[in-house]
Amino acid sequence: DTGVSQDPRHKITKRGQNVTFRCDPISEHNRLYWYRQTLGQGPEFLTYFQNEAQLEKSRLLSDRFSAERPKGSFSTLEIQRTEQGDSAMYLCASSPGVDEQFFGPGTRLTVL
């Protein structure tokens, strides 16, 4: 499968714990995006990488959230000290340099 992959697909954690998600984009896609989607809402932009550089981060994003793309390939999104309001689907998308995006299956986070 040469699509965008995300791991894990589901994560259940207790409030206050740290979680880390991984996204592997389509090979040679230089742009990588992270979104959060809650029930009944469209995806909400979190952050964006071009190669290894993090070019934009949503003003709405708490300091508890951090993302990296160290070698310009896979990316990780970490949430520290999780809160119940962090429960959502976390989507990763990659883009080859034009305006289309290809989405991964998402990681569903449940914070108890």
Partner 1 sequence: EDKVVQSPLSLVVHEGDTVTLNCSYEVTNFRSLLWYKQEKKAPTFLFMLTSSGIEKKSGRLSSILDKKELFSILNITATQTGDSAIYLCAVEALGQNFVFGPGTRLSVLP
Longest dimension (CA), the chain: 39
52 contacts partner 1 (rule: CB under 8 A): no
Closer by beta carbon to partner 1, 14 or else 27: 27
Site stretch for partner 1 (CB under 8 A), options 11-19, 34-42, 62-70, 79-87: 34-42
Site string for partner 1, 93-112 (x = CB under 8 A): x----xxxxxxxxx------
| Residue 107 CA neighbour count, 13 Å, CB half | 26
| DSSP β-ladder status, 19-24 and 5-7 | antiparallel
